[in-house]
Amino acid sequence: MVIMKMLVSIFVALLLPSLIFSAPDFPVFNVVDYGAVGDGLTDATNAFIKTWEATCTSSPSSPTMYVPSGNTFLLHPIKLEGPCVSPAVTIQINGNITAPIEPSRWRCYDKRCDKWIHLKHVNGLTVHGNGTINGRGHKWWNVNDRLRPTAFEISRSENISLTGLNFKDSPRMHIHFEKSKSARVTNITIDAPGESPNTDGIHVSGSRDVFIDYCQIGTGDDCISIVDGCSHLNISNIVCGPGHGISIGSLGKHGSNDNVEDIFIRNIVFINSTNGARIKTWQGGKGHASNIIFERIRTQDSYNPIIIDQFYCDGEHCTEHDSAVQVSNVTFRHVHGTSQGEFAVKLDCSASIPCTGIVLEDIDIRSGYEDQARAYTSNVQGIVMGLNIPQTHL
């Protein structure tokens, strides 16, 4: 026994220095240590700013800003900006974050309230956890749309990961990726009432190489919206409802030149959504929406499961134009389920710039009621293959 204890002591003595030497140095900066009080009432904004400054300026690799569980932190609008010293920075949110409930009590930086939580110029950013980010938007939804803030925005950043979090009741968009590259979003839940205005789930603009996977999204607007400057997006395994579907656009508003290309959307379930797979453009616009695939889609009583609308007009006085955003090389493949709208397939395109290269393959959408779901097409060039329900002619 004595010999055994001596051997163990020698083994530990030899091994311990190497363990200490090889242990990773991942410093953790807890918002509580910087003065945050997690009672849901005390303003924690300055404490979060101080914690971020310590995290972002930390020289050891992979520093973490930590929001602990069992707490609810009240935040006014906040900007967490880089670039940071470390090439990889983590924000771990296990606690809950909540906004002030009264719009009039929001204290905004730079006299702007268009963003609540804004991360900018942070490359190698990971945001993860199991906490909830609650925008408490109910009282905002009656305020002018231009004044309402996006809940969570990541802009001008690269190599981003956003996983595990819950987003609830944003005043406007829940998540916005703006002018960013190489982002991965997984296992996110977004929850807002179907009547909440312009509360898009995930909005992507001016970004490329974005992967969105295994998310459950219910909102009062698009579950996912993809607008000008986006390319090489992969979206899969999404449950959408309520909401306005997964939308390319709107594009071309007020004559703008908007371009979206190389979008792959697959394994989607739409439940009682206003739309399903949608492309929407304004008359008078320029640019293109091309190389887009929607495949393996299940629709459960959505109103417009498949829709291309080149005459989109949202609350404005719109007139006829010869110019339009070119819609081309779009495939809808393996789309099955039920529809409760008049048209299960609606492809309404411009006479001057028709939709080209449209493919409908294995479409089987039945009416959820007694009336047979119908198809409507105008100025569309393409092919139909396999199942063709409702009967559609291109």
223 near 243, Cβ under 8 Å? yes
| 258 vs 320: CA distance, rounded Å | 19
Rounded (10°) CA dihedral 147, 164, 67, 64: -110
Is 121 a catalytic site residue? no
Q: Which of 364, 297, 363, 282 is nearest to 327 (CA)?
A: 282
Q: Which of 210, 253, 201, 258 is nearest to 231 (CA)?
A: 210
SS3 content of the chain, % helix, strand, coil (to 5): 15, 50, 35
DSSP helix/strand/coil, 253 = helix
Over its C-alpha atoms, the chain yields an Rg (Å, rounded) of 24
Start-end of H helices in the chain:
2-22, 45-56
What are the C-alpha distances in Å from 364 to residues 20, 84, 177, 286, 298? 62, 51, 34, 33, 10
Q: Which of 128, 174, 244, 288 is catalytic?
A: 244
- β 257-271/286-302 pair status: parallel
Query: What six digits make up the tokens of 125?
Result: 């950013």
| 325 vs 350: CA distance, rounded Å | 9
Residue type, position 137, single letter: G
254 near 283, Cβ under 8 Å? no
Known catalytic residues are: 244
